[in-house]
Chains A and B, each alone.
Chain A
Amino acid sequence: MTIRELADLTGATIVTKTVDADREVKCGYACDLLSWVMARGREGMAWVTVQAHMNAVAVAVLADMSCVAAAEGVKFDEAVVQKAEEEGVALLETSKSAYEVAGLLYGAGVR
């Protein structure tokens, strides 16, 4: 599944403009504790969280993730979007809960 397909599936908006939305999503994870995410983050991962600050991008970059999806209507600040674009990590926003997004991804075969 690509980031674009993930956005379509979950009704999410891709807020980064310059990051390749055709990059593959290889696996998924949902958690709001950064140390847990750091310990389990993997290359190509789609991470669903309500943490939309600069450190979420730092964690995603260090783990070579594909994208971060902010759940529950949480919005990324412009500075955070800019940082993610510089680092090549896609950011998505959705009104769905992390539970719903994870369920949709799991059902579509993203494990």
Chain B
Amino acid sequence: MSGAICESYAVEAGAFGTAGEASGKIKGVLRKLGVPSALIRRVAVASYEVELNLVIHSLGGTIDLSVEPGSVVLDVADRGPGIPDLALAMQEGWSTASDEVRMLGFGAGMGLPNMKRNADEFAIQSEMGVGTRIHMRFRSPEGTGT
């Protein structure tokens, strides 16, 4: 593959009915580009988790997908409210999700840890009242290309 492919997907706050659609589209793009399935799977897990975080916790945001030679990049930005304690938010099992959301099977406190586990690069910045930004890079296994 040559050249970079860039796509952007908007995710609305509270839109549980359509949650997962952006991740489905990202997966579809990667499939069409012939990205190895093991790499697609890691991106799919992380993109779904971040999409659900946008739906559950944010005021809405965007997921930007870039496909570069040798790697896939997700850059996520929301419009707030921000995460007050990032170290706590990164802990497995920690969640501020409501009981209603938990009844749907969300809010296990696995979102951010699942993203970090599946990405080769993971960076998160958050400012209260401004928003949260997450950068994730997924490298293709040596020799398989993207």
A-to-B contact residues, CB < 8 Å: 32-39, 43, 49, 51, 53-59, 61-64, 87
Contacts and interface: CB of A to CB of B under 8 A. Distances in A.
B16 A38 contact: no
A58 B24 contact: yes
Contacts of A39: 45, 110, 114, 117
Interface residues of B, number: 24
Main secondary structure of the interface of A (DSSP, over half): helix
Given A36-B110, A38-B114, A55-B16, A62 B45 contact: yes
A62 B45 CA distance: 7
Contact of A58 (B23, B109, B117): B23
Interface string B1-39: 000000000000000110111011001000000000100
Given A32-B105, A38-B114, A39-B114, A62 B17 contact: no
A62 B52 CA distance: 13
B48 interface: yes
A106 to B, nearest CB: 22
Nearest to A61: B24
A77 B141 CA distance: 40
Contacts of A61: 20, 24
A21 B110 CA distance: 32
Contact of B48 (A49, A51, A57, A58): A58
A33 B108 contact: yes
B48 A62 contact: yes
Contact of A63 (B44, B104, B110, B111): B44
Contacts of A33: 105, 108, 110
